[in-house]
Amino acid sequence: MIDFQNVLDEIHNDLKLEKERGLIATYIPELKKQSNTSFGIYLNTISGENFYVGDWNLKFSIQSISKVLALSKAITFENKNIWKRVDVEPSGNPFNQLSLLELENGIPRNPLINTGAIVIADILVTHLKNPKEDFLNYVRHISGDQSINYNLEVAASEQKTGFNNYAAANLLKSYNNLNNDVDIVLDFYFHQCALEMNCKQLSNAFYLFANKGKCLNNNQHLTSSQVKRINAIMLTCGFYDEAGEFAFEVGLPGKSGVGGGIVALLPNDFVIVTWSPGLNPKGNSLIGMQALEKFTTKTNRSIF
Ligand code: GLN
């Protein structure tokens, strides 16, 4: 039996005083308010145990991690038709790179880079009656937590400065790969990224991806085949141009966000969330990646 609490405590102790902590994202002005010393980990096992350490209960902006939750909802509406509008190949490029979109005639490489996530947001805007409210309710439902909310200051902050995402949405529109108005789709997208959660809430939200589509409340949201595909996309595309490095170092499907969160999971076994706001040059949490590498090395648990 692995003493998970002891493993988390060791990792936290090893890394909490580390001087090299990466840089907080400043391109969304509201994210500058975070402290670079924050560091939390939460582990949820499928057998019903949980372990945590550090700042696991402080809320942070989940940013791109929300792209997986949006994809999981969009799949329930369109299933395989999604893949006519978004591909499933790693991009090998930063999350906000636009040039590939032109080369590939308006079909984004995958749903976890910004262009792909904007197409997914468009699908949700088409299918949801009250998109922002309904999506929030979905996230609350799968997490079993009604207190989860959007941080409206973060959404507004990104709305003011999101020129790259406006360019992306306009480009998609010019290729007829956006059915709704650019402003409406981006308003939804910026809110989705501005979901605020702590490590525990995020770990609970991702439980269904480790549990063949059944959330913590035992409701079946996705088929195991849909979950297989979403996990495959997380493994190959969840860390942008560092997806290879994450698979190499950590060996789990996962997703990062520029708020400094990372969620990773081992199907049928556990979900783990780390949060440390400092990012490496590829936009992934520096300490979070190190913590997860230590976790899978110490516990010998990975998909490989
Ligand atoms: N909202 C951010 C953006 O669109 C999300 C990026 C990220 O977390 N990598 O730029």
Tell me the residue range of the domain where 196 lies.
4-299
Whether the predicted pLDDT of 93 surpasses 90: no
The atom number, within ligand 1, closest to the CA of 64 reads 8
Which residues are annotated as catalytic? 64, 67, 189, 240, 258
The residue-averaged pLDDT of 66-70 equals 98
**Protein residue with least CA distance to atom 4, ligand 1:** 114
Q: Is residue 124 part of a domain?
A: yes
Q: Is residue 290 part of a domain?
A: yes
Residue 28 CA, ligand 1 centroid: distance in Å: 9
Residue 73 CA, ligand 1 centroid: distance in Å: 19
* pLDDT at residue number 52: 98
Whether the predicted pLDDT of 243 surpasses 90: yes
Whether the predicted pLDDT of 94 surpasses 90: no
* pLDDT confidence band for 30 (50 / 70 / 90): very high
* pLDDT at residue number 99: 86
Phi, psi of 277 (to 5 degrees): -70, -20
Q: Is residue 200 part of a domain?
A: yes
The atom number, within ligand 1, closest to the CA of 65 reads 8
Measured CA to CA, the distance from residue 81 to residue 221 in angstroms comes to 18
DSSP lists the bridge partners of residue 265 as: 271
The enclosing domain of 253 has a CATH number of 3.40.710.10
Q: Is residue 133 part of a domain?
A: yes
Measured CA to CA, the distance from residue 233 to residue 260 in angstroms comes to 20
DSSP lists the bridge partners of residue 44 as: 50, 271
* pLDDT at residue number 229: 97
The atom number, within ligand 1, closest to the CA of 194 reads 1
Q: What is the mean pLDDT of the chain?
A: 96
Instruction: Write the DSSP assignment of 231-249 as a string of letters.
Output: HHHHHHHTTGGGHHHHHHH
Whether the predicted pLDDT of 103 surpasses 90: no
pTM across the whole model = 0.97
Q: Is residue 106 part of a domain?
A: yes
**Protein residue with least CA distance to atom 6, ligand 1:** 64
Q: Is residue 245 part of a domain?
A: yes
Tokens representing residue 220 in the block:
């079946």
Sheet-wide strand order for 195-197: 60-61, 195-197, 149-150
Q: Is residue 304 part of a domain?
A: no
* pLDDT confidence band for 298 (50 / 70 / 90): very high
Look at 8-17, 90-99, 221-230 and tell me which has the smallest mean pLDDT. Answer: 90-99
**Residue to substitute in 62, 65, 112, 158 for testing ligand 1 pocket (most ligand atoms within 8 angstroms of CB):** 158
The residue-averaged pLDDT of 195-223 equals 97
The residue-averaged pLDDT of 178-182 equals 98
**What's the number of domains the chain is made of?**
1
Measured CA to CA, the distance from residue 62 to residue 163 in angstroms comes to 20
Whether the predicted pLDDT of 100 surpasses 90: no
> If you search the block for the tokens 């989705």, which residue do you land on?
192
Q: Is residue 276 part of a domain?
A: yes
